[in-house]
Chain A
């Protein structure tokens, strides 16, 4: 039940929380405001300011107008590319992570701790170390400059996270549940579909949110392993930055940033509560 008293303690709490919230919101507010100011307006004033008129044209330019060399179709095609990369990689790595996490936590087998350790150590391998080896691997299997190649990379790399999250979650499931099902004649997969999966929605949501965000926002691999028309949205955003495009176009750039961040922002907007809920079981070790 909400405490409705107004003791000094409560007031202090509200004050502190509001201050923090203002600080956390500030960058978003600045970008949204800038997306509605014209480039000239921003260049003549400061980066923080109120729009004089609402420059919706920025959004039109950002969505379908600005040019990356010859292609003047704005951010739209790159959003599609990012979606084609992110959605499959997220789904596959989540599913495989769930299965592997389930196997490692509930079906103990020889060496399971070792392989789990190695897979999660992968979280710490810096991405610069992976660029050239992936180039060689993709070359050898013929997937350079394909979206499939990128999906493969993100799936395999994503396993480090997904296995970590899922395994920590499944470890809380009582073994008796599994044993009873086995005695009833259920095999590995039937138990997974019938018992594990229905219990997994919190952690699956966490994993999907995490993976989607990381893959959607990734730049290095996205730019190196694709050609012009296949590039993800992160590459297109760079083309708008001041250092690259000679002159600052902060208005259009802000609009493009908002559009590009919409998918992940919406996911956190609607999935935020599940994120916390899903971490409840997985966090307590």
Chain B
């Protein structure tokens, strides 16, 4: 430990007995951290290794160069999945951000029933992805869900068949995903809104700013760090969205809502093509890195600036 305070040793103790005394804390800190880091690194390396082997049903060693990668990149499944990821990722992150912020602002207005409303917006987080996908697949199915209800009630011109429409089905996933996770964005934003310095708000009000301008000019800018956090967490959700999509559309209609996580699972376990599945997984990781690295670099620069300031 390089903390200045940590070099204060108790009088009368030798260095060894000090180390022994410190052993439990070393263990309790390092063992979990090392286990976590070790499993992440080793699993990633293992997957990268497998992606270069001819593994099918079980992992085997061998070398096939980039054959798995070219096969995956050339498949329609992957191409559609990649396009869908871009569309879904951007749409979902943006819309859930906006929804969460909107809900937080609404809840911040000191309205009645705030506690109840907050619970209503948060409870979808408690539901498992499989259940979310299943229930929304009932609701959005034109033959048994909302459209049928509307027709039964007499409103026969109503159509809401996105779920079975090749071009629109991806948006059903966006809807279900926003329902599930925007509560978290709302909670984060609400926390941020509530912790804005009251003095700043008062100063703005004294300057004559109305509520909308106060929000726009004064409060929202302070939410910038939270926004980044929300984006990162929602992005993680979007990229690994698997159970939800499987339960909602299973990649359909046809293969119109394929997503990388589904392709990986499909290749690895359904088609018993481990090598190709691993290659697809590595490609997924590369996509993630492409998003995370700029973020990490930006944070690094930020920290350097803070240190030098």
Contact = CB atoms under 8 A, between A and B. Distances in A.
A24 B120 contact: yes
Interface residues of B, number: 96
Contact of A234 (B40, B124, B128): B128
A28 B124 CA distance: 9
Interface string A151-177: 000001101100100000000000000
Interface in A230-255: 234, 237-238, 241, 250
Given A16-B106, A119-B37, A283-B192, A187 B25 contact: yes
A107 B3 contact: yes
Contact of A269 (B123, B128, B274): B123
B195 A284 contact: yes
A185 B127 CA distance: 47
Contact of A24 (B179, B261, B265): B179
B192 A182 contact: no
Contacts of B21: 187
B265 A125 contact: no
A202 to B, nearest CB: 10
B192 A284 contact: yes
A123 B291 CA distance: 14
Contacts of B308: none
Nearest to B192: A283
Contacts of A53: none
Contacts of B77: none
Given A125-B40, A127-B240, A17 B117 contact: yes
B264 interface: yes
Contacts of B24: 189
Interface string A168-200: 000000000011001101011100000000000
Contacts of B42: 133
Contact of B149 (A46, A123, A264): A46
B145 A126 contact: no
Top 8 closest pairs, chain A to chain B, by CB: A217-B128, A264-B126, A188-B25, A280-B191, A47-B138, A46-B148, A103-B29, A96-B32
Interface of A: 1-3, 9-10, 13-14, 16-17, 20-21, 23-28, 30-31, 45-49, 96-97, 99-100, 103-104, 107-110, 115, 117-119, 121-133, 137, 156-157, 159-160, 163, 178-179, 182-183, 185, 187-189, 213, 216-220, 234, 237-238, 241, 250, 257, 260-261, 264-265, 267-269, 272-273, 275-277, 279-280, 283-285
